[in-house]
Chain A
Amino acid sequence: MTMKRRRTAGLPGSYGDADMEGDVTRTDALLDALARREALSGTDAALRLLGALVADVDSQRLSSVSITPST
């Protein structure tokens, strides 16, 4: 019989089992890398799309503003 380690079920932040905890940690590291604009290898469709969105958002020079209070 396989015993799974469980935290309180149903609460935000709870993990179903050790595998889930590992997956959550890996996802966090991948999103950190994307947020730092690091290139990610692999074929994950969701990460590729988020990477494309990040690249598109960062690609265009701003025609807008920086704001400083008037003197």
Chain B
Amino acid sequence: MPNVTEGCVADAATGVRLATRSDESDLRELTSLAVQGDRTAIESLLGQLRPMVVRYCRARLGRVSGQYHIADDVAQEVCIAVLSALPRYRDMGRPFASFVFGIASHKVADALRSSVRSAVPTQDLPDGPDEGPGPEETVVRYIEAQHARDLLARLPDTQRELLILRVVSGLSAEETGNVLGMTPGAVRVAQHRALARLRQLAELESIA
């Protein structure tokens, strides 16, 4: 069984960066080592992919009782599924990220279908002052984020996936294309149309 330890993606600067071509080649090499069972490579690979998976699950599933526990649990399931599938993974020319987000997409769909809304544990009381935003700012941000999710849910599946992978998970147009089976050019056109549709939906709601 894998060991499970506490982690954090709150520091967005360390978790989000767009991949370059050399990153992709490094990731391919890392994946190859991980498939062969290299423990350091497995840890490093999951360390790179996990923040993107968590963001994807959080964006798709949202909060329950103000917390991301369910989304984070699904992200954990994705990571465990990836870890379990690693020995059977064969490089067919597509980036490893497309394999990972394929699993993530299915896990999120399963979670949405079951829509389990079980009791959610509260966070531990902090030892020191909360350095985060105040209650008013938190509520405004929460409402806007939920509004974004509601409007994204009204987009066609591909457009929604595309915007979430591209913006929230922080994949490049090339990586997003690899996940969705599109060329980078098609991604750029589709994301432009998706953003226009999202804008249109937001404007229609503001008028109504």
Contacts and interface: CB of A to CB of B under 8 A. Distances in A.
Nearest to B146: A56
Contacts of B206: 45
A60 B69 CA distance: 10
Interface string B1-30: 111111111101101111000000000000
Contacts of B166: 31, 35
A60 B202 contact: no
Given A36-B17, A68-B43, A69-B42, A49 B148 contact: yes
Contacts of B72: 62-65
A60 B122 CA distance: 13
B10 A60 contact: yes
> How extensive is the interface on chain A, given as a class?
35 or more
Contacts of A12: 182-183, 185-186, 189-190
A70 to B, nearest CB: 5
B115 interface: no
A50 B79 CA distance: 25
A44 B42 CA distance: 41
A49 B81 CA distance: 32
A43 B135 CA distance: 24
* Residue of B55, B73, B188, B191 contacting most chain A CB atoms (<10 Å): B188
A49 B197 CA distance: 13
Contacts of B141: 52, 55-56, 59
B75 interface: yes
Contacts of B4: 65-67
B192 interface: yes
13 contacts: A12-B186, A25-B188, A31-B191, A45-B199, A53-B145, A58-B15, A62-B9, A62-B72, A64-B54, A64-B76, A69-B2, A69-B42, A69-B43
The 10 closest A-B pairs by CB, nearest first: A13-B185, A56-B145, A64-B72, A52-B144, A12-B186, A66-B7, A45-B202, A46-B199, A49-B148, A53-B148
